[in-house]
Structure 1
Amino acid sequence: MDEAEATLRGLITEYQRTGITRLPPEQRLCELVGASRTTLRDALSRLEAAGEIVRRRRVGTLITAPTRAAHAGSLAYPVDLILSLSDFLAEAGADFAVRAVTIIRETADADDIARLGVDHDAAVYRAVRLYEVEGRAAARLEHRLPASIGGHQVRINALTDGITTFLRETEDIRLIRSDHTITAEAAGEALAAELEVPPGAPLLVIDCQLYATGSHAVATGRLVFRPDVLCLTASADPALSASRRAGTFGLTALTGGRPAGDGAGGGVPGRREPVHS
């Protein structure tokens, strides 16, 4: 390992500690590393071959391993990647488990008809999973999806953890987009009990619609996180300057918070595009 590679590894370690998951542009990296472009590119190629970084056109150089951000000790889940929570936690090396899985077959409601494009009397599945991370309740993930996709029945019994992985590996559906809104809300009694927090405790919520091909979503979701265990981060938004710190979204960065059970409030709308599988 040469000096440039060693310096890059040190820089990556420093970025990981602060929740930054993208390296600066090449010119800035040359200044930070103190190396020529040729030497820098050679070092980056070795790190990419080792799986420590990945270079994406129009996105930049990403640090591939999810890391624990310095935000009250919680893990930073990237909201700009289509990445299941199970896959994220596994890649981060976190000790986690799915405490409970509940699957209910229901008749489509008005939201299902509008978002999933199903008929008014169609069957849909509501799947709820409770996660724990390092022994603490961490998240409640609820997804809704049609009971039948592409003319065949969804093999819902295979849905034990990540919805993204389930759709890709069981249903052969690759997601290409996720439209989402992030809000903060106070825990109602039911959520407080499930996530083991006091009623009224602040929670982070992602309401999302997952798309493959076609104009309608293949699944919708409502993801609720305990921010002291799992917070949210932006890791690879092409609209951001590559040298800007991504950091984590604290509760103060979110707007339109609402108590659980109320109508939809404002939030931070966004769109997730996959930058890795």
Structure 2
Amino acid sequence: MEKEIFFKVDNEQLFQKVKRAIMQLIKHSASQNLNRLPPEAELAVILGVSRTVIRDVLADLESKGFISRRRGIGTIINTHVLEAGARLDIDQEILEVLAQKGYKPSVGNIHFEKISADENIAARLKVDPGEEILQVESVINADGLPAVHITDMLPLRIIQVSYEVQDFERSIFDFMKEKCSEQIESDLSHVKPVNANAKLAEIFQVEIGRALLFLDEVGYTASNVPVLLSQEYFHPAIFDFSVFRRKL
């Protein structure tokens, strides 16, 4: 095992740092045709953290299907789940998913404006009709080809500081962490096929009527207040989605 690929972690955002490190180990081990992780005690030494932290991270990764833990056997790497690509049951950054699929991702065609909430937007974000909304449109490319068209909408009142186009070159969740008073704790998504209209056909460089994958998502705060409406169209030749389900 090549321990030099890992890094020591400090107390800042410890759980997430350890989780990233162990995911790095999982992917590295899978690439070397290794099907198990080291024991908890060894992982704790490698990363310089307590076994409690390691145990919590492994429990989280097991719930997402990346590993399975069996008494007397150890921690098994679920290679078939690693290879699933884009998943609907966990939070994944689109740029990261494209990179994992072997594409060079980039964000372009960014346009943002203030709009007034119509009846539909108001109902879904639980705001009054006419309230100011920030609407951000962008296209995520894969090797220069349009892969995803995204429209994000959030109440203007939750934005605390100024912003510019460069702030939208990353995910809307990064923008909200840096610029907004509210954060997303959960979301509810609906997926369905749609046919490309004239605008989408031009964006994706396909014929009108071409089937696309459509993800309609509302993001909620810890208090279950909706603060983000996202509508995402995916090119089906580049994207498909998987869902991991554990049988009880």
Match of 1:130 in 2: 139
Aligned partner letter, 1:193 = E
Correspondence list, 1:4-43, <5 A: 12-13=30-31, 41=39
Moved more, 101-110 or 167-176: 167-176
Q: 1:155/1:183 Cα in 2 relative to 1: closer, same or farther (>3 Å)?
A: farther
* Corresponding residue number in structure 2 for 1:56: 59
Q: Are the aligned partners of 1:84 and 1:165 in contact in 2 as well (CA < 8 Å)? A: no
Post-superposition offset of 1:217: 1.0
Matched, 1:170 2:173: no
- Hey, what does 1:240 align to over in structure 2? 246
Judge conservation of contact 1:140–1:223 (CA < 8 Å) in 2. yes
The residue aligned with 2:195 is 186
Shift in Å at residue 68 of structure 1? 9.0
The number of residue pairs the alignment matches comes to: 202
Does the residue aligned with 1:83 lie in a helix, a strand or coil? coil
Equivalences for residues 1-277 of structure 1 within 5 A: 1=1, 12-13=30-31, 41=39, 45=43, 49=47, 55-57=58-60, 59=63, 62=66, 76-89=85-98, 94-149=103-158, 153=160, 155-157=162-164, 158-171=167-180, 173-235=182-244, 239-241=245-247
Task: Show CA shifts across 1:41-61 (max 9, x none).
Answer: 369848x959xxx52346165
Moved more, 76-85 or 175-184: 76-85
**What is aligned with 1:266?**
none
Paired letter, 2:63: V
Alpha-carbon spacing, 1:9–1:174, altered in 2? closer, same or farther (3 Å): closer
Structure 1 residue runs of 5 or longer lacking an equivalent are: 3-7, 16-28, 34-38, 71-75, 243-277
Q: Deviations over 1:65-122 (max 9, x none)?
A: 9x9958xxxxx32222223323444566631111210112111111222222222231
Does the 8 Å CA contact 1:103/1:125 hold for their aligned counterparts? yes
Quote the residue 1:18 is aligned against: none
Instruction: Work out whether residues 66 and 82 of structure 2, in 8 Å CA contact, stay in contact via their aligned partners in 1.
Output: no
Residues in 2 aligned to 1:223 and 1:154: alpha-carbon distance in whole angstroms:
26
Under a length normalisation based on structure 2, what TM-score does the superposition of the two structures give? 0.66
Structure 1 residues 131-175: Cα deviation after superposition (integer angstroms, max 9, x where no partner): 1101211010111111111xx546453233311111123326432
Q: What is the CA RMSD across the aligned residues, in angstroms? A: 3.8
Q: Structure 1 pair 216/45, CA: closer, same or farther in 2 (3 Å)?
A: same
Q: Tell me how far apart the structure 1 counterparts of residues 161 and 221 of structure 2 sit (CA, whole Å).
A: 15
SS in 2 for 1:231: coil
Q: Is the 8 A contact 1:155 1:171 kept in 2?
A: no
Cα distance in 2 for partners of 1:217, 1:201 equals 31
Q: Is the 8 A contact 1:77 1:231 kept in 2?
A: yes
Identity level (%): 20
Take 1:9 and 1:127, find their aligned partners in 2: how far apart are those partners? 34
In structure 2, the gaps of 5 or more residues are: 3-25, 49-56, 68-76
One-letter identity of the residue aligned with 2:59: R
Q: Which has the higher contact order (CA 8 A, sep 6+)?
A: 1
